[in-house]
Every structure is written in structure tokens, then in C-alpha cells.
């Protein structure tokens, strides 16, 4: 049963999926960590693979940039392919002074300026929140690996280049970092009765002139990947 965005058949995708934004990072993870990976999707260049990790079936697939993109791919995985768990493994820009480039943030919740949740007809503002069990496992894995990590609220924005001072206001409210996908993922997981978590590596700092290269974003986030793999191996 393929979709307009995914050529996989039912059964081709594991119950747990690791999702980076960059499809080439998905390819890297499959080739570096999975045994016998098989490509199940190449539609629109959004690569997806299924293999095994420590004897457990596991898939990895890109989700693209922004809530509309992750909204499509995660919806289809949860609702058409019987996926139970999605772990977003992505990049973000740090907001707080104590958080440095290459540190890790585990997103407990995702503040957003997107109106994605309006479709669910909830008065006021829905609070997109991670699955607590996945959060617990990720914190334990990060401690085990000795990672420098933080847990808390992140900002999920529809805009990458801003023309206002909202980032300063977010920083005052204790928001840890900025990215563009997790709120949509958390909404879809909540609606489907499934489980989601975002584990993020800081690729730059919003208030300091610090950033890593595009190449390192694609190939250098191994610590985050290994935390996610530890979580996936326990599901």
C-alpha cells in the first residue's frame, strides 16, 4: 500500500523509525549502523531504509524541513504503516548561554508559532509534548554515553530567517533552542495515539557567531544518533 510520498508496502517499515530531516543523513545511519539495510523509499528523494540493529528491526527515513513536510511523512507512518514510535534526530539553534554547539537537547515540549494544531479543533492552544517513556529512555541513554545534554521546552518555528526579536523573548522564557519540525510530529503522535520524541544536536547558536558546516550537520551528529539507537533498541 504505497502513498503519494512513500513507495513502501505495508510491512516494509519497522514499528520504530528514526527520522532526521536530511535524507542523506538517513542513508548514512542505515549504512553505518543497520545490518542488511534495504531501501523502501526514494520518492521525492526522501530516502527510507529498514534493517536490524542489535537484532531488532529498525527503520530510518528523512522527513524534510518544516512542519508541513514532517507532518506528511509522520502522518503516513503512524496511520498507514502502523509505526508506533518516531524519534526525530535533528539539528537546532541554541538560545541559552550555557548551551554550546554540539550539545544535545531532548525536547520535552515544543512551543510553536505554527497553526498546525488548529485542525484538531481544540479551543485555546494545544501544547505539543513528547512521549514520557521515550523521554525517560533518552535521558538514561544520554547519561550512559556521557553526553552534555539538556531537557526542556524548545521552539518550533515556521520561519528560519526572522525579522523580529522573538528569539530574545523565547530565551527570557527559558526555551532551550529553535528548530522547525517537532511540534508537528508531537501533534501527529498525540492524534494517532502513538509515541514521538525529538533529540536535537545544536548546529549553531542564535546569539553567538558559532555554527558548524553543512557537511558536519550531515555526518557529524553521531552522539545523537547513538542515543536514539539506544532508545530504539529498548522498544
Q: Which residues are catalytic?
A: 204
Q: Which sign does the torsion angle of CA 118, 123, 127, 132 carry?
A: negative
How far apart CA 132 and CA 3 sit, in angstroms, is 30
How far apart CA 171 and CA 198 sit, in angstroms, is 19
Residue 90: strand pairing partners: 200
How far apart CA 99 and CA 51 sit, in angstroms, is 34
- Nearby residues of 55 by Cβ (< 8 Å), 6 or more positions away: none
Cβ 122 vs Cβ 31: under 8 Å: no
DSSP assigned state of 35 = E
Name the residue among 40, 91, 96, 44 with its Cα closest to residue 225: 91
Which run of H or E residues covers position 50? Answer: strand 48-53
Cα→Cα distances 40→44, 104, 106, Å = 13, 29, 28
DSSP assigned state of 174 = T
Amino acid at each position: 500500500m504505497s502513498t503519494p510520498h512513500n513507495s513502501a508496502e505495508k510491512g516494509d517499515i519497522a514499528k520504530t523509525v528514526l527520522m532526521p530531516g536530511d535524507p542523506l543523513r538517513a542513508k548514512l545511519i542505515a549504512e553505518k549502523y543497520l545490518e542488511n539495510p534495504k531501501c523502501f523509499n526514494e520518492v521525492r528523494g526522501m530516502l527510507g531504509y529498514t534493517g536490524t540493529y542489535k537484532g531488532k528491526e529498525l527503520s530510518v527515513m528523512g522527513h524534510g524541513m518544516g512542519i508541513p513536510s514532517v507532518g506528511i511523512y509522520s502522518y503516513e507512518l503512524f496511520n498507514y504503516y502502523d509505526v508506533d514510535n518516531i524519534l526525530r534526530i535533528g539539528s537546532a539553534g541554541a538560545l541559552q548561554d550555557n548551551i554550546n554547539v554540539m550539545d544535545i537537547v531532548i525536547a520535552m515540549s515544543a512551543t510553536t508559532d505554527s497553526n498546525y494544531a488548529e485542525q484538531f479543533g481544540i479551543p485555546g492552544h494545544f501544547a505539543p509534548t513528547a512521549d514520557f517513556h521515550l523521554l525517560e529512555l533518552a535521558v538514561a541513554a544520554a547519561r550512559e554515553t556521557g553526553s552534555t545534554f539538556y531537557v526542556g521546552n524548545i521552539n518550533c518555528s515556521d520561519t528560519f530567517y526572522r525579522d523580529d526579536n522573538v528569539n530574545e523573548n523565547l530565551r527570557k522564557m527559558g526555551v532551550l533552542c529553535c528548530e522547525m519540525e517537532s511540534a508537528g510530529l508531537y501533534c501527529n503522535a498525540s492524534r494517532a495515539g502513538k509515541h514521538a520524541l525529538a533529540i536535537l544536536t545544536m548546529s549553531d547558536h542564535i546569539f553567538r557567531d558559532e555554527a558548524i558546516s553543512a557537511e558536519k550537520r550531515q555526518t557529524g551528529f553521531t552522539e545523537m544518533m547513538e542515543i536514539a539507537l539506544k532508545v530504539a533498541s529498548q522498544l
